[in-house]
Amino acid sequence: MKAFRLLSQISGGLLAIVLSTAAVSAQDVVRVGLDPGPFPPFTDKKADGSRFGFEPDLLASFCASMKVKCQLVEITWDGLISALNNNKIDMIYNNMTITEERKKRVDFSNPYYDTRVVFVGPKGAPVQPTKESLKGKIIGVISGSVHAAYAQARFGDSAEIKIFPRQDEVTSDLLAGRLDLMISDALAMEEFLKTNEGKPYEIKAEAPKDPLLGGGVGAAFRKGDPLRDKMNAALSNMVASGEYDKIQKKYFKVDVSPR
């Protein structure tokens, strides 16, 4: 894995950092909110608590291009938007899909990647993303995610939708036999299926295009924050220079670049 230059010195116990105005001005520091849980290949942790993966690699380049010091603040997924709007963080950078509903509360950057959504369950009988096929099934999703909104809206009256704070908890319940299926990001699920624990499972179906599933993943900012424009410029520069392509090819065989 590529060393995560800007963030590798942040230990696990120091991820939630209280900024010191004596050390660095507010203009030079961006507090980056993200969920503490692992979500490989997008983000994971080393033994010392430092982050690695696709999103940390991109973030290092974003922060360098914006000429800011990025400090990570761990916040459970469903509290990220509230933390942003209460000025506890300056940016959400955590696999957050851009949706019309979320745009009412935050400003998004342009998408920095895009991928599909899948249903994962034990190998065997086929599953279709329809109410009839999922009738009586127990489906696990992450709280506050587009997957949760989609599952509840499209299948909530025929299947039981179980909500979890983090992806690793969803996966644990699937492994324990307490779920029939989980709905999540395809690339993250492909990583799970490569593991020994994931071998008895498979992608059962791909979710059809749906407005509830949004249009790509972006960073989120408070309404009117000019930091968003800096992020968009950094992303454009990375794509044009080939840096983006270099990073994504370390983790994915398919193109996840923003469209």
Q: What is the pLDDT of residues 219-249, one digit of tens each?
A: 999 999 999 999 999 999 999 999 999 999 9
Higher model confidence: residue 198 or residue 17? 198
Q: What number does CATH give the domain 12-113+215-251?
A: 3.40.190.10
| Residue 7 in this model has a pLDDT that exceeds 50 | no
Whether residue 3 has pLDDT greater than 90: no
Mean pLDDT calculated for residue range 2-6:
38
12-113+215-251 against 117-213: fold identical? yes
Which residues is 45 bridged to in the sheet? Answer: 51
pLDDT bracket for residue 98 (50, 70, 90): very high
Distance CA 82, CA 228 (A): 18
Confidence bin at 114 (pLDDT 50/70/90): confident
User: If you average pLDDT over residues 241-258, what whole number do you get?
Assistant: 89
Q: Classify domain 117-213 by CATH number.
A: 3.40.190.10
* Closest residue by Cα to residue 185 from 229, 150, 224, 220: 150
**Sign of the dihedral through C-alpha 34, 68, 233, 106:** positive
Average pLDDT of the residues of the chain: 87
40: preceding bond cis by omega (within 30 degrees): no
pTM: 0.66
- Map out the domains of the chain as residue ranges: 12-113+215-251, 117-213
CB contact at 8 A, 33 and 83: yes
Whether the per-residue pLDDT at 24 is higher than 50: the answer is: no
SS3 track for 150-187: HHHHHHCCCCEEEEECCHHHHHHHHHCCCCCEEEEEHH
> Among 112, 85, 87, 82, which Cα is nearest to 97's?
112
Confidence of residue 190 (pLDDT cuts 50, 70, 90): confident
The fraction of the chain above a pLDDT of 70, given in percent, is: 89
What local confidence, expressed as pLDDT, does residue 91 receive?
98
pLDDT, tens digit, 9 for 90 and up, residues 26-66: 448 999 999 998 888 899 999 998 999 999 999 999 999 99
